[in-house]
Amino acid sequence: MLYLASDHAGFQLKTKIIEYLKRKGIDFNDLGTNSNERTDFPKYAKLLTDAVAQNESNRGILICGTGIGMSIAANRNPKIRAGLCKNKKTANLARQHNNINVLVLAGRGTRFNSAKNMVDVFLTTEALGGVYAERMAAIDLKNIKD
């Protein structure tokens, strides 16, 4: 399942992405927020990461003003690999090399066309595995070899 969540600063971009996903016939679950009234991003990061972490095939999209806060909050969950992406290329590399399961976008400063391209790449690109999977395993610092 694909999950989406945003704070108030990401609400407008999230709304456009939702319409895009509907047009493409992609199933998703919107976890909020449901307006552009001020709210705190950690609440929505937790809702989404808890949902994504329930099944390895789940993925998520988080959006806040800069994407930085959502990235920090999401990556607190050890089952989450959230990546803040700025364009199609970084989304592709984040999927291939880092096997991200949560795409993070900046609501302020990301144009919809760019966001749409990143979402497409996020949903269709497979992780490369191999040395990249070994590096992801090493993120747990006790697994790093000197």
**Domains detected in the chain:** 2-143 (3.40.1400.10)
- Work out the pLDDT band at 135, boundaries 50, 70, 90: confident
Q: How far apart are the first and last CA of the chain?
A: 38
Active-site annotation holder among 43, 46, 97, 116:
97
Looking at residue 145, what is its pLDDT? 62
pLDDT of 144 > 80? The answer is no
In what side-by-side order are the strands of the sheet with 82-84?
29-30, 2-6, 59-64, 102-106, 82-84
Q: How confident is the model at residue 130 (pLDDT cuts 50, 70, 90)?
A: confident
What is the average pLDDT value for the chain, to the nearest integer? Answer: 94
Quickly state the pLDDT bin for 70 (edges 50, 70, 90). very high
Count Cα neighbours of 50 within 13 Å in the Cβ-side half-sphere: 7
Q: CA-to-CA distance for 23 and 131, rounded, in angstroms?
A: 37
Residue 97 annotated in active site: yes
Q: Look up the pTM and report it.
A: 0.94
